[in-house]
C-alpha cells in the first residue's frame, strides 16, 4: 500500500540548471531524469508526487509523470497549502537535489557532466537487463536504448542502433545496424536495416531498409517491404504490399498485395493542402509513376511505367499516360556527323 508522497523541488539557482532548464528535466538516454526517478520510486510503491517548480515548466513536468501515478505541480506556496490534502496521511519526503536512479540507489548530481557519467552506467544496466530477458544486444558500447523501450525475446540489436521513447519491439526481430526507432510499435519477426522510423506501427514480418525513412503516422501491414531509399508518411499499407526502392508515398491508403515500381511518388501537396491517394488491393504501380491526388486506383488496376495518374482508374483496367515513342532511322548517325563537322571547322 502507498504510504509515501515524494515532493521534488526543482531549484532554479545556477547550480541546479543547465541552459535555463532544471537538471531534473535534462535527458538521460532520451528520457527526462524526472521520469527515470518517478518510475524508480513507483517500483518501491510510491504513487504520489508533488513537483515544486516555476510555472513555465508545468507542462513539461506533467509529461514526465508515468501512467498510474498521481501528481501535482505548483509553487512552494501551492505546496504548503495543498500538501496535507494531497498526501492524505502519507509520509512526505522532500527531495531538494537532482537525483538519478542507478541500480538500486538514487545518486545525486549537480552538473550535466556528472549526469553524463551516470548515464553511461545506466546505459549498460539497460542493455544487460534486455540481455537477461533474451535479447541479443551485440555491442553495448554502440547501442542506446531508452528505459521506456520494450523488446521481445529472441530479437537481435545490431551495432549503431538507437531506440527511443515508448517503442515496443516484438520477438525474433533484427534491428540495425545503424537504425533509429522512435515511439514505434514493431511486430514479431521484423527486420529494420540502417533505417529510421518514427511514431508508426509495423506489423509482423515487415522488412525495412536499407536507408528507408518511415515518417510519423504510418501503419505497415504484415509481410510488407519498405525497401532501399523509400520514404513513407501518414500512410496505411495492407498485408504484403511492397515498395522495394526509390519510392515516396505520403498521405495514402494502400490495400494488400500492391507492388510499387521504382521511382513512384504520390504528389500529395499542391502548395496549399495535402490530398490523399487511395490504391486498392493487388494493384500494380509501374516504375516512374506519378499519382496526383485526390485520385483512386481501384482493385487489380495496372499502371504502366512512366504514367502520370490524374483521374481515377477503374478496377482491373490499364492506365497509360505517356507520349508515344517515335523512331527516326539514321538520326543519331547524322547528329554525330554534324557534330564532327562543327569540331573540324573549329579546329581550322
E-assigned strands of 122-247? 136-137, 144-145, 150-151, 156-157, 162-164, 168-169, 174-175, 180-182, 185-186, 191-192, 196-198, 201-202, 207-208, 213-214, 219-220, 225-228, 231-237, 242-245
Adjacent-strand bridge partners of 243: 226, 260
192-220 b/e (C-beta count within 10 Å ≥ 16 → b): bbbbbbbbbbbbbbbbbbebbbbbeebbb
| Catalytic-residue membership of 245 | yes
**Number of CB atoms found within 10 A of residue 63's CB:** 11
Helical spans, DSSP H, in the chain? 33-43, 58-63, 76-87, 112-132, 331-347
Q: Which of 166, 217, 245, 275 is catalytic?
A: 245
Q: Would you state the cell numbers that stand for residue 68, as one nine-digit string? A: 498510474
Task: Give the CA angle between residues 198, 179, 31 to the nearest 5°.
Answer: 60
**Catalytic (active-site) positions:** 245
Amino acid at each position: 500500500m502507498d504510504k509515501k508522497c515524494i515532493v521534488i523541488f526543482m531549484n532554479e539557482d545556477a547550480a541546479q540548471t543547465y541552459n535555463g532548464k532544471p537538471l531534473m528535466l535534462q535527458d538521460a538516454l532520451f528520457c527526462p531524469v524526472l521520469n527515470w526517478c518517478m518510475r524508480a520510486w513507483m517500483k518501491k510503491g510510491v504513487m504520489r508526487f508533488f513537483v515544486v517548480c516555476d510555472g513555465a515548466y508545468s507542462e513539461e513536468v506533467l509529461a514526465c509523470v508515468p501512467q498510474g501515478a498521481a501528481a501535482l505541480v505548483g509553487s512552494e506556496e501551492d505546496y504548503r497549502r495543498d500538501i496535507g490534502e494531497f498526501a492524505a496521511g502519507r509520509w512526505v519526503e522532500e527531495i531538494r537535489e537532482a537525483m538519478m536512479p542507478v541500480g538500486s540507489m538514487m545518486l545525486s548530481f549537480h552538473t550535466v557532466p556528472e549526469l553524463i557519467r551516470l548515464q553511461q552506467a545506466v546505459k549498460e544496466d539497460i542493455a544487460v537487463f534486455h540481455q537477461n530477458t533474451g535479447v541479443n544486444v551485440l555491442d553495448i558500447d554502440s547501442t542506446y536504448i531508452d528505459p521506456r523501450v520494450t523488446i521481445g525475446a529472441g530479437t537481435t540489436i545490431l551495432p549503431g542502433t538507437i531506440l527511443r521513447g515508448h517503442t515496443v519491439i516484438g520477438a525474433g526481430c533484427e534491428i540495425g545496424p545503424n537504425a533509429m526507432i522512435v515511439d514505434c510499435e514493431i511486430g514479431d519477426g521484423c527486420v529494420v536495416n540502417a533505417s529510421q522510423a518514427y511514431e508508426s506501427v509495423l506489423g509482423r514480418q515487415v522488412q525495412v531498409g536499407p536507408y528507408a525513412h518511415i515518417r510519423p503516422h504510418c501503419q505497415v501491414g504484415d509481410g510488407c517491404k519498405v525497401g532501399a531509399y523509400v520514404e513513407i508518411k501518414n500512410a496505411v499499407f495492407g498485408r504484403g504490399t511492397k515498395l522495394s526502392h526509390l519510392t515516396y508515398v505520403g498521405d495514402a491508403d494502400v490495400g494488400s498485395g500492391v507492388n510499387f515500381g521504382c521511382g513512384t511518388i504520390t504528389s500529395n501537396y499542391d502548395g496549399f493542402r495535402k490530398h490523399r491517394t487511395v490504391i486498392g488491393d493487388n494493384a500494380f504501380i509501374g516504375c516512374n509513376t506519378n499519382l496526383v491526388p485526390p485520385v483512386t486506383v481501384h482493385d487489380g488496376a495496372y499502371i504502366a511505367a512512366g504514367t502520370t495518374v490524374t483521374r481515377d482508374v477503374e478496377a482491373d483496367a490499364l492506365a497509360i499516360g505517356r507520349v508515344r515513342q517515335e523512331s527516326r532511322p539514321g538520326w543519331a548517325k547524322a547528329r554525330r556527323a554534324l557534330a564532327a563537322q562543327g569540331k573540324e571547322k573549329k579546329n581550322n
